[in-house]
């Protein structure tokens, strides 16, 4: 099979008709929404969708509404030919690849916005980012009509926003969270890793190392989030990273925790770190199965 | 057939499963969203859905998110038993009748908002009303999964908001506008007409009479919106109505027109009038098939 075997669809109506046809045959449809520049992290999502569904659609759309004016929309990596080759190797049934005018035609004016989840973490510096994400993902859901949609857990806040939107709007779609896929040295895979210099690339391994260490500190008995945040921040800064945030929070509401193990059975360690102009995110979900300590 | 023959469904998941089953049989599903207190205007929408679809769902939900704090949410007329009897006479396949907790459970936080259409007409005084309408209608669409949804044209701005949302979010649903249904004396049917005293009820006929007269003034050659608005306002006020607005606008954007016949082939005459505490709306779509006059 080669890239020529993938149907690339550029019109929403055509994609809808294709998916409608599959549903009428009783086939289950899986969707993996992406912005292209596909790496192994994305491809694992596609394999997961392939495993769970009869038909798999990958959408490739660098969505302008989720980038801020000073962000990297125009220089975000784009490589349709390479992406199609990678997807052909796995076998997907369609790639939905619209242009911005197809997604946001003249007269477009509908915003989709969550009121609480975006008021945390990345949402504090990336204003309107999650409104853009919710808007485009809702459109992609309505266009591709999946039964199942697979998202990577690296963008944890994004997954929570989408899960909450799906629940709130009664979308008849099952959201599958896929574990973070990492490079051999632990760095979470990201299309933005290509921005890193060789030196930054090496230094960036501190992010995952610090998340792993933080879990160890918790298991050794450190139940004060402030102490974890301080120690983790120091470790990342010493390696040359600029910490935008490092939080210990509830994995459902994303609210900061006052004490680890007291409020939730799972704790989310989540961070955004800059190396030069490149902003990387990562996280680690920690099970708190021990009994809460006396306050 | 009697009221006992209608399936009343209170859970979103149950409604979704029912509609999913119909779709898997290849049946077309029609939805008529209502707030109950059904009158002949609603019933005509149901008959239209019946005519176009294999299965018909009527939703009855007085949606709290589309009422302002000083509006009539708590006293809005409610009559489930009467509504079911009326629907049984027509024959509907299901009534979706959720409670507010089913629609807006704890943690709910997704807003759906249009940026331009609500900045006109009713949206200027009913802040957040159309965000509430868009939100609940989107949820009802996802729950009831209609192929066709029928709305009355009396709430013209509401229909436009829904049409625009359907287009913007790529919903695979055909919106049917149904003509305004009127009492024998011309008053547009409304669940709120029951609020009127006998005197107000009689005076309220001025609304439709003025819309009809306005069309006549246009046909007689009056192409200045300001002149129509002035004359119409005087006529309504003389009959005891308090004019909230009377506009001559583009029926797609709802922008005010500068000159009738110059910008659009259709003109919307649209008004909101109070009699005492009761606020009534009405409108009339006028075809401008004549050649535009020299400016």
Q: What is the mean pLDDT of residues B219-238?
A: 97
> Is the minimum CB–CB distance between B290 and chain A shorter than 8 Å?
no
Q: Which of residues 226-265 of A touch B (CB under 8 A)?
A: 253
| Complex confidence, ipTM | 0.94
CA-to-CA separations, B175 to A171, A281, B145, B161, B269, in angstroms, rounded: 19, 42, 13, 11, 22
Residue A45 lies in a domain: yes
What is the structure's pLDDT at A2? 44
Which of A28-32, B114-118, B222-226, B259-263 is the least confident region?
Answer: B259-263
Length of chain B: 295
Chain A CB contacts of B19 below 8 Å: none
Q: How far is A24 from chain B (nearest CA, A)?
A: 7
Q: Do B16 and A170 touch (CB under 8 A)?
A: yes
Same domain, B154 and B52: yes
pLDDT tens-digit map of B175-196: 999 999 999 999 999 999 999 9
Encoded tokens for B267: 């003109």
What is the structure's pLDDT at B3? 45
Same domain, B222 and B97: no
Kindly report the CATH number assigned to the domain that includes residue A227.
3.30.1300.10
Tell me: pLDDT of B1 over 80: no
Encoded tokens for B194: 């029951």
Same domain, A7 and A119: yes
Residue B292 lies in a domain: no
Q: What is the mean pLDDT of residues B94-109?
A: 98
pLDDT tens-digit map of B266-290: 999 999 999 999 999 999 999 987 6
State the Cα–Cα distance between residues A151 and A159, nearest whole angstrom: 7
Same domain, B65 and B149: yes
Same domain, A199 and A174: no
CA-to-CA separations, B101 to A117, B17, B104, in angstroms, rounded: 20, 20, 5
Encoded tokens for A203: 């230094």
Total count of domains within chain A:
2
Residue A149 lies in a domain: yes
Kindly report the CATH number assigned to the domain that includes residue A103.
3.40.50.620
Tell me: pLDDT of B90 over 80: yes
> Is the minimum CB–CB distance between B10 and chain A shorter than 8 Å?
no
State the Cα–Cα distance between residues A18 and A23, nearest whole angstrom: 9
Question: Helix, strand or coil for residue A32?
Answer: strand
What is the structure's pLDDT at A293? 52
Residue in B closest to A26 by C-alpha? B24
Residue B183 lies in a domain: no
Same domain, A92 and A127: yes
Residue A185 lies in a domain: no
What is the structure's pLDDT at A1? 40
Quick check: B134 and B112 in contact, CB under 8 A? yes
* Substitution target from B12, B105, B109, B143 for chain A, most A beta carbons within 10 A: B109
Same domain, B195 and B256: yes
Same domain, A85 and A152: yes
Q: What separation, in Å, do the N-terminal and C-terminal C-alpha atoms of chain B show?
A: 61
The pair phi, psi for residue B124, each rounded to 5°, is -75, -30
Query: Binning pLDDT at 50, 70 and 90, where does residue B96 land?
Result: very high
Farthest CA pair distance, chain A: 63
Final residue of a structural domain among B148, B178, B208: B178
Which of A42, A120, A129, A178 is catalytic? The answer is A42
Encoded tokens for B42: 């609603």
Q: How far is A209 from chain B (nearest CA, A)?
A: 34
Same domain, A207 and A104: no
Tell me: pLDDT of B215 over 80: yes
What is the structure's pLDDT at A290? 61
Encoded tokens for B141: 């669409």
Return mean pLDDT, chain B.
95
Same domain, A162 and A97: yes
Query: Binning pLDDT at 50, 70 and 90, where does residue B62 land?
Result: very high
CA-to-CA separations, A19 to A12, A142, A267, B220, in angstroms, rounded: 11, 10, 38, 52
Query: Binning pLDDT at 50, 70 and 90, where does residue B291 land?
Result: low
Domain around B208: 191-287
Residue B200 lies in a domain: yes
Quick check: A104 and A135 in contact, CB under 8 A? no
For residue A190, give every residue at least 6 positions away whose Cβ sits within 8 Å of its Cβ, in sequence order, or none.
A39, A41, A154, A280, A281
Reply yes or no on whether A42 is catalytic.
yes
Helix-, strand-, coil-residue percentages of chain A, each rounded to 5: 40, 20, 35
Same domain, A120 and A240: no
Same domain, B8 and B78: yes
What is the structure's pLDDT at B261? 81
What is the structure's pLDDT at A265? 86
Q: What is the mean pLDDT of residues B66-81?
A: 93
Residue B103 lies in a domain: yes
Residue A60 C-alpha from the chain's centroid = 14
Query: Binning pLDDT at 50, 70 and 90, where does residue B16 land?
Result: very high
Residue A232 lies in a domain: yes
> Is the minimum CB–CB distance between A113 and chain B shorter than 8 Å?
yes
Cα dihedral B67, B70, B75, B78, rounded to 10, equals 0
State the Cα–Cα distance between residues A81 and A88, nearest whole angstrom: 11
> Is the minimum CB–CB distance between B26 and chain A shorter than 8 Å?
yes
State the Cα–Cα distance between residues B131 and A108, nearest whole angstrom: 15
Final residue of a structural domain among B155, B178, B201: B178
Q: How far is A138 from chain B (nearest CA, A)?
A: 7
Alpha helix ranges (H) inside chain B: 12-24, 40-52, 80-90, 100-103, 122-125, 129-144, 156-168, 198-203, 205-219, 225-238
What is the structure's pLDDT at B283? 98
Which of B39, B42, B120, B178 is catalytic? The answer is B42
**Positions of chain A with pLDDT lower than 50, given as ranges:** 1-3
């Amino acid at each position: 099979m080669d890239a020529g075997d993938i149907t690339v669809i550029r019109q929403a109506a055509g994609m809808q008709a294709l998916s409608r046809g599959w549903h009428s045959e009783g086939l289950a449809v899986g969707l993996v929404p992406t912005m292209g520049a596909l790496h192994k992290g994305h491809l694992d999502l596609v394999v997961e969708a392939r495993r769970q569904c009869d038909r798999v659609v990958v959408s490739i759309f660098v969505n302008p509404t989720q980038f801020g004016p000073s962000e990297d929309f125009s220089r975000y990596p784009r490589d349709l030919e390479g992406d199609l080759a990678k997807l052909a190797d796995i076998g997907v049934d369609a790639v939905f690849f619209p242009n911005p005018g197809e997604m946001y035609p003249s007269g477009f004016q509908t915003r989709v916005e969550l009121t609480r989840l975006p008021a945390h973490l990345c949402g504090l510096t990336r204003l309107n980012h999650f409104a853009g994400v919710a808007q485009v993902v809702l459109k992609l859901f309505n266009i591709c009509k999946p039964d199942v949609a697979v998202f990577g857990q690296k963008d944890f806040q994004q997954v929570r926003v989408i899960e909450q939107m799906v629940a709130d709007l009664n979308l008849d779609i099952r959201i599958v969270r896929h574990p973070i896929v990492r490079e051999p040295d632990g760095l979470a895979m990201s299309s933005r890793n290509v921005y890193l210099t060789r030196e930054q690339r090496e230094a960036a391994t501190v992010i995952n190392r610090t998340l792993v260490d933080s879990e160890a500190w918790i298991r050794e008995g450190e139940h004060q989030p402030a102490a974890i945040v301080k120690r983790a921040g120091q470790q990342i800064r010493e390696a040359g990273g600029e910490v935008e945030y490092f939080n210990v929070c509830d994995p459902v509401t994303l609210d900061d925790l006052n004490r680890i193990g007291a409020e939730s059975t799972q704790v989310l360690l989540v961070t955004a770190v800059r190396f030069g102009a490149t902003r990387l995110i990562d996280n680690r979900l920690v099970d708190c199965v021990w009994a809460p300590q006396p306050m």
